[in-house]
Structure 1
Amino acid sequence: MQLKYLVALLLPALAAAEKCLNYVITFQPNTPDSVIEQAIATVKDNGGRVTHVYKIIKGFCVCAPHEALNQVSIMASEWEPVIEEDTVITTVGIS
């Protein structure tokens, strides 16, 4: 019977973990830093976490549910954020 309670407690945590997706969010170079900071706060407020903040370009990586990404897109629509799934990119030499 205790196993039933343990499973009931773990299911919501597992469901939340599955909703976390890795994305890169970037902005145009003329975007104010305050917009970037607000976007980071929006991700955190909607259950996501920032995994890396870029220094050379205006942007950051997140592990976040779709809702957090939607909220960033809405709040920063004037600055046209680019939201892309974070993937591994490789190069292959052509000879």
Structure 2
Amino acid sequence: MKVFSFVIAALTLAAGVSAVGIQKSVLFTYPRETPDWVVDQAKKAIEEAGGLITHEYTLIKGFAAKVGDKAIGTVSAMGEQYKVLVEEDQEVHIA
């Protein structure tokens, strides 16, 4: 009976993990002339989709976030007029 309970618990956990979706670390950057409300609206959309803003930049207009693919598409479409640059965060090495 304990084995059966363990199997049910494991399957429930696996289903929950797959339902949440995979989140990526992504950078969103905008040209300087982009209005602040556009960036604020993008951050709000990410938070509403269950994402997390991990860093807000001051030298450039933009932010980093952990977010799913659907929210990335939403923010990209919202910022299309302002030429938002969306790129996956990755390590950079100097050779």
**Cα distance change, pair 87–55 in 1 and its aligned pair in 2 (3 A):** same
TM-score between both structures, scaled by the size of structure 2: 0.85
User: Paired residues, what number?
Assistant: 92
2:37 equivalent in structure 1: 34
Q: Which has the larger radius of gyration?
A: 2
Post-superposition offset of 1:38: 0.4
List structure 1 runs of 4+ shifted beyond 4 angstroms: none
Post-superposition offset of 1:4: 3.3
Q: Report the secondary structure of 2:47's partner residue.
A: helix
Q: Report the secondary structure of 2:74's partner residue.
A: helix
Residue type at the aligned position of 1:39: A
Output the CA distance in 1 between the equivalents of 2:60 and 2:16. 34
Q: Which runs of 5+ in 1 are unaligned?
A: none
Note if 1:70 corresponds to 2:73.
yes
Output the CA distance in 2 between the equivalents of 1:18 and 1:68. 11
1:46 equivalent in structure 2: 49
TM-score between both structures, scaled by the size of structure 1: 0.85
Output the CA distance in 2 between the equivalents of 1:66 and 1:78. 20
